[in-house]
Every structure is written in C-alpha cells, then in structure tokens.
Structure 1
Amino acid sequence: MKSLLVLYKTEFKLALREFSGVLFGILLPIGIMLLLGILYGDKLAYENAPYTLLQQSVAAVLTVGICATGLMGVPITLSGYREKKILKRFKASPASPLLLILAQFLNNMTYALISSVAVVGIAVLCFGYRMIGNPVLFILSYFLLMAAIYAMGAMIASVAKSEKIANMLCTLFYFPMFFLSGATIPYELMPKGLKLFADVMPLTQGIKLLKATSLGAWQNDSMNAVWILIFTAILGMIIAVKTFKYEYES
C-alpha cells in the first residue's frame, strides 16, 4: 500500500506538469458547465417539464472528465511507458508493473472526481442546481460508467503496440463519444438516425443512466444501459488482461 501511494503521488505530479489532464479532464468540463448554466438559466427542458435544461445537462457534463481521463489519459500514458521501456524496468524491480498501472488508474480517477465535484459545485452555487433523483443510485451509476470507460482505456493501452497507435485509437474512440454521445450536444436534440449511431456508444448509455438516476426518471431501457456498461467493463478488462505485454518487440 505504501508503494502504491508513493507511485500515485509521483504520477499525480507528472500529470500536473503535462497539464493536458488538467485542461481536458478538469477545465474543459468546468467551462462547459459555466457555458450551459449561462445559456440555460432556469429554462424548462420542455413545456411543463418537471426539471430544467440545466438539471438535464449536469449528468452529461460530468462524463466529460471521465471520457477525457479514461480514453486519453490512461491509454496514452501506459502505452508511452511501454514504449519507453518503463514497464520493462518495473518488471525487474521489487515494485511490480501492476502497481504502476493501478497508480495511473487512481491518478486519472482523481482528475475525474475533482472535475465532477467542481462541475456539481458550480451548478449548485452559481445556478441553483438541485438533484431530483436518488443520489446513491446516481453515484453508483457514475462509478459503473467510469469502470466501463476505464476498461476501454486499459484495452486500448494493451493492444496498442506504440504510443502513436494508442493516440490514433484514442482519437477514434474519444472524439465520436465526446461529440455524439450527448456529453456536449444534448442527445434529445439529435435526429433519429444519429441517435441510432450514438446508442452504440457506451458513453451514450452511461449518460442516459446518469440522467435517469439524477432526474428520478427511471425508464424501461435504463436497466439495459446498466447491463451494457457492465458488459463493456468486463469485456474491456478481459481483453486488456489477455493482450497485455510489458513490451512489444520492435
């Protein structure tokens, strides 16, 4: 546990120097929340709706930090460590590579949690946000989505033979989810054809689940979202474990 804590602190300091984690994992969600709060104010989601546009949007904004850290931070950093032979060096040291990987996961989770606390804090203090639904179910849904997205990140980190390939795969996964899952553009405003494409993405299902639990609007397909996220988390970790290598031959 002491070794993990030391590695976690080191990873956190290194990530701060990089700044991209702070920019995309923390500042970007905060910026989106401020923008939506100013644009939406206290407008209702639709005529006679029991919740406002802001209440509908907070859950989606929270996922921006998860998406950035899970699909960019985790895979790019770990694939970079492999390419630079850092994982190989850890294999020969008393501290196992597993500790380094766990420290990297904890580091990115910290960024995501800081982002989420900041977003909710701004929504509550600046725009009068109040959650309608069950906070416990919402938190459980939040961590289920995090598990699914981080499992995808671990999968990318394992199958990518170089940092360049990891960057390419991260781009292919991250940007479609970021723009088309409902994290930025509201899912409800998308045309039917685009919704069908978006529904394939785990992040879309996660946002649907977070909205359902935060708005107290559990629907028939909410449980489907739960099973999709569980399946994604399990499958992603199985692939990540089965394909993981400390180094790939040049």
Structure 2
Amino acid sequence: MRSLFRLTAVEFRLLLRDATALFVVLALPVGFLLIFGSMISGGASAPGADPRATREFFSAMAVSLSLGMLALFTIPTYLGTYREKGILRRLSVTPVRPAALLLAQLTVHAAMALVGLALVIAVGSALLGVGVPQNLPGFLVAFVLGTLALFALGLLVAAIAPSGRAAGGIGPLLFFPLLFFAGAWMPKERMPDLLARIADFTPLSATMDSLQTAWQGGDPRVLHLAVLLVFALVVGLLAARAFRWE
C-alpha cells in the first residue's frame, strides 16, 4: 500500500508538470462551454428550445469531453511514452506490479476528472446560470461509471500501443467517432435509427446522455448505465490482462 501511494504521488507530480495536458483536459472543455453557452444566452438557440436545457446539454458534453480526452489522450500517451523510453522495462525489475501502475494512473486521472467536473459546474453556475445537477445521486453514479468505462478503454489502448506516438494516434482514432455518436456534430434525434441505436451502446454517448438526464432532474436510463458497467468490467479486464512491461 505504501508503494502504491508513493507511485501515485509521483504520477500526480508528473501530470501537474505537463501544462499542455492540463490545458487540453481542463481548459478546453470549459472554453467549449463558455463559447456555446454564451451563444445560447445571447439568443442563438433553436426556436422553441429551452435555453436552460440547452445549456445543460452543453455542460454534460463539456464534462464528457474532459473524461474522453483524459481517457484517450493523456492516459495512453503517458503509458505509451513510458514503454517507449524504457521506463516500464526498468520498473519490471522492481517489486512494482503492472496493476499498481495502472491503478496509480487511474487514481491520478480520476482526480483530474473531478477537477474538470468542478470547473464546469462552477463556471456554468457563475456565468451561465446552469446550476448543479438536479438529480445529484443519479449524476454521480453516471459520472463514476462513465469515468470507469472510458478510462478502461484508455488503459486498453495503453496496453497495446508500443510507443507514445502510436498511443497518440490510436486514442484520437477512437475518440472522434465516439464523439460523433455522442451527438457532438449531429444531435442523436436527427441520426438515422440505426446510428442512434448504435450510439446507445457506445461509452461516450452513454456517459453524456446519463449526465444530461441527471442534470435535468431525470433518472439515467438503465440501458446506458448497464453499457457503462459492462465496458468498465470487460474492457478493464482486457486491459489488465494485455498490459505488459515490454
């Protein structure tokens, strides 16, 4: 337990030194929320749409963006770079187990995810009038399951990527299609039925829909929570089994 704590502390310090990563996963989602939220506040929303509901939609998307970028950009790149530079090889001759390193990475990035969530809620409440999620327990369940599911996918990418450059290519290759299915470019209501059905079974879409529903006071769909739980368990197990020092 002491070695895990020390390893987590080291990983946390390394992440704090990476200004680029912090900007991408923290500042960009908040900037996204401010841009689109201010457009809605200025009357740019669709006719007949509820401005508050639309701002809550973009708030949920901002949180999902932060989780997705942490999962598919920073986690794979960090571990892929460690493998490329031989850091993992050197760790292999120490008592540190692969599971400990993965757990340390999860802990550090989960802390960053919480910071990102707090920033989105604080900025949304102070400047856009979004407020805290109305169904807070449902929101927290969706946030935890979404974080676990997306981070498991990021760990799987890290497990199979031979280098930081490879991880930096595989992560975005997964992230942008997932972002499409989450409704970033086309609302799910306008998607063909087949695409909308597929979106229900993708982790980023299930996360965003669950967060948005809870933010608006509803209960997240059981289907979406089940999808996230299955992703977290199955993909997480695959990542743990596939991860090697070499």
Q: TM-score, normalised by structure 2?
A: 0.87
Structure 1 residue ranges without an equivalent (≥5):
none
Q: Distance in 2 between matches of 1:65 and 1:76?
A: 16
Q: How many residues align?
A: 244
Q: In 1, are the aligned partners of 2:99 and 2:240 still within 8 Å (CA)?
A: no
1:41 positional shift = 1.6
Aligned residue number for residue 83 of structure 1: 84
**1:237, 1:61 → 2: CA distance?**
24
**1:210-249 C-alpha deviation (Å, 9 max, x unpaired):** 1111112347xx11111111111111112112222110xx
Give the CA deviation at 1:188. Answer: 4.7
1:181 CA drift (Å): 1.5
CA distance in 2, matches of 1:106, 1:218: 27
Asked whether the 8 Å contact 2:132–2:215 carries over to 1, the reply is yes
Q: Counterpart of 2:207 in structure 1: which amino acid?
A: G
Q: Secondary structure at the match of 1:52?
A: helix
- Structure 2 partner of 1:125: 126
CA contact (8 A) 1:144 1:230 kept: yes
> 1:123 deviation in Å?
0.6
Find the aligned partners of 1:19 and 1:148 in 2 and give their Cα distance.
26
> Do 1:69 and 1:108's aligned partners in 2 also have CA atoms closer than 8 Å?
yes
Percent identity among equivalent residues? 26
The 1:207–1:117 alpha-carbon spacing in structure 2 relative to 1, beyond 3 Å, is same
**Counterpart of 2:48 in structure 1: which amino acid?**
E
- 2:166 aligned with 1:165: yes
Q: Which amino acid aligns with 2:232?
A: A
Output the CA distance in 2 between the equivalents of 1:242 and 1:200.
Answer: 23
What amino acid is the match of 2:159?
Answer: S
In structure 1, C-alpha distance between the alignment counterparts of 2:62 and 2:112, rounded to whole Å: 14
Q: Is the 8 A contact 1:54 1:129 kept in 2?
A: yes
State the match for 2:224 in structure 1: 225
Return 5+ residue gaps in structure 2 as ranges: none
Give the secondary-structure state (helix, strand or coil) at the position aligned to 2:94. coil
Instruction: Please give the alpha-carbon distance, in whole angstroms, between the structure 2 residues aligned to 1:147 and 1:132.
Output: 20
- Report the counterpart of residue 175 of structure 2 in structure 1: 174
The answer to whether the 8 A contact 2:82-2:88 is kept is yes
Structure 2 matches for 1:79-228, cutoff 5 A? 79-131=80-132, 133-182=134-183, 184-185=184-185, 187-188=187-188, 190-192=190-192, 195-196=196-197, 198-218=199-219, 222-228=221-227
AA aligned opposite 2:243: F
Q: Mark the CA change 1:27 to 1:234 in structure 2 (over 3 Å): closer, same or farther.
A: same
Q: Is the 8 A contact 1:82 1:246 kept in 2?
A: yes
1:238 correspondence with 2:237: yes
Detail structure 1 runs of 4+ shifted over 6 Å in the superposition.
42-46
SS in 2 for 1:126: helix
SS in 2 for 1:150: helix
Q: Greater CA deviation, 209-218 or 45-54? A: 45-54
Q: TM-score, normalised by structure 1?
A: 0.86
Instruction: Report Cα offsets for 1:36-81 as digits up to 9, x if no partner.
Output: 2211128687737595311232112111111011111111211221
Letter in 1 for 2:158: A
Q: How far apart in 2 are the matches of 1:52 and 1:98?
A: 41
Partner of 1:37: 37
**Higher mean C-alpha displacement, 98-107 vs 206-215:** 98-107
Q: CA deviation at 1:203?
A: 0.5
Counterpart of 1:245 in 2: which secondary structure?
Answer: coil
Q: Report if aligned partners of 1:33, 1:123 keep a CA contact under 8 Å in 2.
A: yes
- Please tell me the residue identity of whatever aligns with 1:154: L
C-alpha separation in 2, matches of 1:96 and 1:103? 11
Structure 2 distance, partners of 1:230, 1:200, is 11
Counterpart in the other structure of 1:20 = 20
- 8 Å contact from structure 2 (residues 37, 58) kept in 1: no
Q: 1:120 to 1:46 in 2, by over 3 A?
A: farther
- Give 1:46-61 correspondences, 5 Å limit: 47=48, 49=50, 51-61=52-62
Distance in 2 of aligned mates of 1:186 and 1:133: 26
